Amino acid sequence: MSETILVTGGAGYIGSHTAVALAERDVQVVIVDNLANSSAKAIEAIDRLGGRRVIFHEIDLLDADALGDVFQAHPIDAVIHFAGLKAVGESVEKPLDYYRTNLLSTMNLLDQMAANDVWDLVFSSSATVYGDPKILPIPETAPLGPTNPYGRTKHMIEDICRDAAAADRRWRISLLRYFNPVGAHPSGELGEDPRGIPNNLVPFVMQVAVGRRERLSVFGDDWETDDGTGVRDYIHVLDLASGHVSALDRLEPGCDEFNLGTGTGVSVFDIVKTVENVTGVSIPYEVVDRRPGDIATSLADPSKANEKLEWRADRSVDTMLTDSWRWQSNHPNGFNDEQHLTAEAEG
Ligand code: NAD
Ligand code: UFG
Residue-wise pLDDT tens digits, 61-73: 999 999 999 999 9
> CB of 200 closer than 6 A to ligand 2?
yes
CATH number for the domain spanning 39: value is 3.40.50.720
Residue 59 lies in a domain: yes
Ligand in closest contact with the CA of 10: 1
Over residues 243-247, mean pLDDT: 98
Decide if 150 is catalytic.
yes
* In-domain check, residue 11: yes
- How far apart CA 122 and CA 103 sit, in angstroms, is 16
Q: Is the CB of 198 under 6 A from ligand 1?
A: no
Taking residues 142-148, report their average pLDDT.
97
Residue 180 Cα, ligand 2 centroid: separation in angstroms? 8
Specify the pLDDT at position 344. Answer: 37
Domain count, the chain: 1
Is the separation of the CB atoms in 214 and 285 below 8 Å?
A: no
* 33 domain residue, yes or no: yes
Could you tell me if residue 135 is inside a domain?
A: yes
Residue 346 pLDDT > 50 = no
Picking from 164, 84, 151, the residue whose alpha carbon sits closest to that of residue 120 is 164
Q: Within 10 A of 143 (CB to CB), how many other CB atoms are there?
A: 11
What gap in Å lies between CA 264 and CA 347, rounded to an integer? 43
Q: Measured from the CA of 205, which atom of ligand 2 is nearest?
A: 8
Cα–Cα distance between 142 and 153 in angstroms, integer?
18
Please give the average per-residue pLDDT across 26-34, as a whole number: 97
Out of 150, 178, 234, 285, which one is annotated catalytic? 150
pLDDT reading at 341 higher than 60? no
Give CA separation, 21 vs 15, 54, 112, 245, 328, in Å. 10, 12, 25, 8, 21
Using a 6 Å cutoff on CB, does residue 34 contact ligand 1? Answer: yes
Evaluate whether 12 touches 37 at the Cβ level (below 8 Å).
Answer: yes
- 239: in domain: yes
What ligand is nearest to the CA atom of residue 124?
A: 1
Preceding omega of 133 cis (within 30 degrees of 0): no
CB-facing half-sphere around the CA of 177: CA atoms within 13 A: 30
41: in domain: yes
Residue 245 domain flag: yes
User: Mean pLDDT across the stretch 267-296?
Assistant: 97
Looking at all shown ligands, the one closest to residue 154's CA atom is: 1
Q: What pLDDT score was predicted for residue 337?
A: 64
Q: How confident is the model at residue 5 (pLDDT cuts 50, 70, 90)?
A: very high
Q: Average per-residue pLDDT in the chain?
A: 95
Per-residue model confidence (pLDDT) at position 345: 35
Domain that holds residue 158: 4-182+234-261
80: in domain: yes
- For the CA atoms of the chain, what is the radius of gyration? 19
Q: Indicate if the pLDDT at residue 208 is higher than 50.
A: yes
The pLDDT assigned to 342 comes to 38
**Segment (H or E) for 278:** helix 268-279
How confident is residue 336, by pLDDT bands cut at 50, 70 and 90? confident
Q: How far is the CA of 37 from the centre of ligand 1 (A)?
A: 8
Q: Does residue 267's CB lie within 6 angstroms of at least one atom of ligand 2?
A: no
